[in-house]
Every structure is written in structure tokens, then in C-alpha cells.
């Protein structure tokens, strides 16, 4: 068994990095322009390219995904309560709370782990102003039903699409659903600008507001402070990284798919025996293979695998753990048993470009041995 140990650590993720010469070329442009931030030429170029790539009506770029989500919530003047999912990264809940709103947690579905539309309506009160779902692991939420519920009750919808770069559903690019979608370009995501993020949206009028809100509320034309804003501008170094990485992201997704399929193949026996369940893309979806996630059939087994893998120099991640309504810093209702169960049994395995299919085979062998050993 020990001969399965890797000599070099296998991390759960590693960033997409372009050849350094390509980034240097962009840095030269920055030095020529002497423009480092505040709506610079590279940011504008990246904005145009991403608008096309994500195939959306409007896009605005930000310093990171989280702050853009806070700005999205602010721009829609939401009040009171927001229905959201507990099975997400801390960011989603914190963006709600930082806007002085109350998150109300609806439980998720047990197949794709997204906010379950069946649980939304019973939580709507006179105080509810919006729904903030998350496209978990890049699998789109039930966007049709969420749209329907939002229309019926006159609620806004902001999607946390941090995992869903490049995803489309029945041919419609994911950034076109809801009032606003937030994408994260953090180093760990499929497409990165080091740190970075974007909002996509259909209402043209939001452009003006976003430009102001991300620059201390200063309006882009009158230079007046018309809103209470934040500093959330994307800088030129981020934009430069985005411009070069964008040329590689399609190939990156192809490589991810190969690794993903190798995992499926190598874990098929364990899956057939009911030891694990693999999170698969929905049928109607063009997927980005951002994560390879399995669900074990008990929390003891999940924790055992999680703790044993590092002995083989392999690092997995409990993602997301715990559910957001269980963070000790807040005191929220914890009545979302499906989210809790998923959180207790989930494990994300390594998937990144410099991983080889042989590495994947070996990781699967280790997991199989560990589980059979129990």
C-alpha cells in the first residue's frame, strides 16, 4: 500500500496559470499605459471579451466575486429576508448579512445539492425580498421553477454562479438567468484573474449603478457621490491575467473533462456497490468540470478517507462543510437536514490541469484500498 504514496503533494486544486511570457507581454502594456486601476484599458478589453464568452447582455467586472455579490444585493435595494441555501461557501450568507438582511435557509435537493424549489414557497413572508441560490459545483439550479416562484411573489433573484463559469443549460448560457448572476474569478476557480469577479445582468440601467457602487458611490458621469458604495474595482494586473487565461480556458475544460471521466471509470465499482455517489452534470447542461466530488455513505467514512489521504500525500477537501447555518458566528435555525447530511459526507477530490490520468488512477486505487480496509 505504501508504494501508492505520491512523492510530491497532490493538492485538491491548483490555479490555471498561463505561460509566463504571455503574462509578461501584458505587464509591458501596463507599464506602457501607466494605468494600474480605475476602469483601465485591460479591464475594458476583458469586459468585452467576457461579455462575448459568457454570452450575456451586460457584464461588470469587480476586484473579487464576494464584493460583487455584496454590490449586487445593494444595487437591488433588498430589504428584510432573503431565501438562500445553507450548502454553499461562507461568502453567499455573509454577502446577505453584510447588507443587513436576514438569510432564511431552505433545504437543498439530494441529487445536485442546489436550493430545492419545493422548499422555497413555504418560507416566503411579507418580509421576503429575494432568493439567492447557488449553482453548486457548476450544476445549474432549477432555473425555470425559481423564475416562476420569483415572478409569482414579486421577488428578485441573484444567482451565486461562482462555480458555473462557461456553463449553459439547454443551450442558454447560465449568466442569463435571474436579475443578476455573480461569477468568481478567484485563483481556485476554472477561470481566474488571480482574484476577481463579475456580475452579469439583463437590466441595462444597472451598469451605471454598478460603476458607481464599485467606486465609492461616485457616479461615472457627474462625479457625484450619489450612493453609499465600496471600493471593488478590478485592477489591471487582474485584468491582464484574465486576458491571457481566457485564451486557455476552453482547453482547460477539455482536460478537466478527461480527468473527470477517468475518475468516473476508476470509481465505478465503488459507486455500483453503493460505497460512494459521484456528483454528475445534469443531462441538459454544458458543464465545466470545475470539481470532482463524491459523497460517502457515512460521515465516519468521509472523515476517515479525509484523514488518511494525506498519508499518501493526497489532499481532499470537505466542501462545503459545515453548512452555513451551522457556523458558530451566527445563530440561525438548523432545520435543513439534507444539507447537513451532504455536508457531513461530501469530499472533493483533486482535479487540476497538471494532474495526469495516471495520478487519478492512483488516487482512486488509494480510496478503494482505504474503503475496503474499513
Site of interaction with ligand PLP (CB under 6 A): 64-66, 88-89, 91-92, 134, 160, 162-163, 184, 186, 197
Residue 58 Cβ, how far from ligand PLP at the closest point, in Å? 19
Q: CB-wise, 245 or 266, nearer to ligand PLP?
A: 245
Residue 190 Cβ, how far from ligand PLP at the closest point, in Å? 11
Rounded distance between C-alpha atoms, residue 351 and residue 1, angstroms: 22
Residue 23 Cβ, how far from ligand PLP at the closest point, in Å? 20
Q: CB-wise, 163 or 209, nearer to ligand PLP?
A: 163
Q: CB-wise, 179 or 275, nearer to ligand PLP?
A: 179
Q: CB-wise, 1 or 90, nearer to ligand PLP?
A: 90
Specify the residue for cell string 443549460.
169
Residue 108 Cβ, how far from ligand PLP at the closest point, in Å? 13
| CB contact at 8 A, 278 and 261 | no
Rounded distance between C-alpha atoms, residue 139 and residue 148, angstroms: 19
| CB contact at 8 A, 241 and 192 | yes
Rounded distance between C-alpha atoms, residue 155 and residue 152, angstroms: 8
Q: CB-wise, 186 or 340, nearer to ligand PLP?
A: 186
Residue 1 Cβ, how far from ligand PLP at the closest point, in Å? 34
CA 211 to chain centre: 23
- 41: preceding bond cis by omega (within 30 degrees): no
Rounded distance between C-alpha atoms, residue 157 and residue 160, angstroms: 10
Rounded distance between C-alpha atoms, residue 113 and residue 340, angstroms: 11
Residue 196 Cβ, how far from ligand PLP at the closest point, in Å? 7
Backbone angles phi, psi at 128, to 5 degrees: -70, 130
> Whose CB is nearest to ligand PLP?
65
Q: CB-wise, 184 or 348, nearer to ligand PLP?
A: 184
Amino acid at each position: 500500500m505504501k508504494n501508492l504514496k505520491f512523492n510530491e503533494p497532490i493538492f485538491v486544486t491548483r490555479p490555471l496559470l498561463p505561460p509566463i511570457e504571455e503574462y509578461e507581454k501584458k505587464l509591458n502594456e501596463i507599464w506602457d499605459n501607466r494605468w494600474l486601476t480605475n476602469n483601465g484599458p485591460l479591464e475594458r478589453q476583458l469586459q468585452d471579451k467576457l461579455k462575448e464568452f459568457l454570452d450575456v447582455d451586460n457584464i461588470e467586472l469587480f476586484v473579487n466575486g464576494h464584493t460583487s455579490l455584496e454590490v449586487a444585493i445593494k444595487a437591488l435595494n433588498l430589504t428584510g429576508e432573503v431565501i438562500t441555501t445553507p450548502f454553499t461557501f461562507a461568502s453567499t450568507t455573509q454577502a446577505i448579512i453584510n447588507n443587513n438582511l436576514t438569510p432564511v435557509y431552505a433545504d437543498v435537493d439530494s441529487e445536485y445539492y442546489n436550493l430545492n424549489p419545493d422548499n422555497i414557497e413555504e418560507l416566503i413572508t411579507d418580509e421576503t425580498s429575494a432568493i439567492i441560490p447557488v449553482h453548486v459545483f457548476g450544476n445549474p439550479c432549477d432555473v425555470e421553477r425559481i423564475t416562476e416562484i420569483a415572478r409569482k411573489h414579486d421577488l428578485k433573484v441573484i444567482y451565486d454562479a461562482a462555480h458555473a463559469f462557461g456553463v449553459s443549460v439547454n443551450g442558454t448560457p447560465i449568466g442569463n438567468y435571474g436579475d443578476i448572476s455573480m461569477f468568481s474569478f478567484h485563483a481556485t476557480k476554472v477561470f481566474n484573474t488571480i482574484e476577481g469577479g463579475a456580475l452579469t445582468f439583463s437590466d441595462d440601467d444597472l451598469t451605471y449603478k454598478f460603476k458607481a457602487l464599485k467606486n465609492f458611490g461616485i457616479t461615472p458621469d457627474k462625479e457625484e457621490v450619489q450612493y453609499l458604495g465600496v471600493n471593488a474595482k478590478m485592477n489591471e494586473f487582474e485584468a491582464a491575467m484574465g486576458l491571457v487565461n481566457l485564451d486557455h480556458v476552453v482547453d482547460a475544460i477539455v482536460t478537466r473533462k478527461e480527468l473527470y471521466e477517468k475518475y468516473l471509470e476508476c470509481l465505478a465499482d465503488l459507486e455500483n456497490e453503493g460505497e460512494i455517489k459521484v456528483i454528475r452534470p445534469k443531462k441538459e447542461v454544458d458543464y465545466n468540470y470545475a470539481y470532482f466530488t463524491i459523497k460517502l455513505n457515512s460521515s465516519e467514512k468521509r472523515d476517515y478517507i479525509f484523514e488518511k489521504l494525506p498519508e499518501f500525500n493526497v489532499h481532499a477537501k470537505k466542501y462545503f462543510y459545515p453548512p452555513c447555518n451551522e457556523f458558530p458566528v451566527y445563530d440561525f435555525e438548523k432545520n435543513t437536514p439534507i444539507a447537513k447530511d451532504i455536508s457531513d459526507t461530501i469530499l472533493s477530490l483533486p482535479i487540476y490541469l497538471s494532474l495526469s490520468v495516471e495520478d487519478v488512477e492512483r488516487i482512486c486505487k488509494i480510496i478503494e484500498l482505504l474503503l475496503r480496509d474499513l
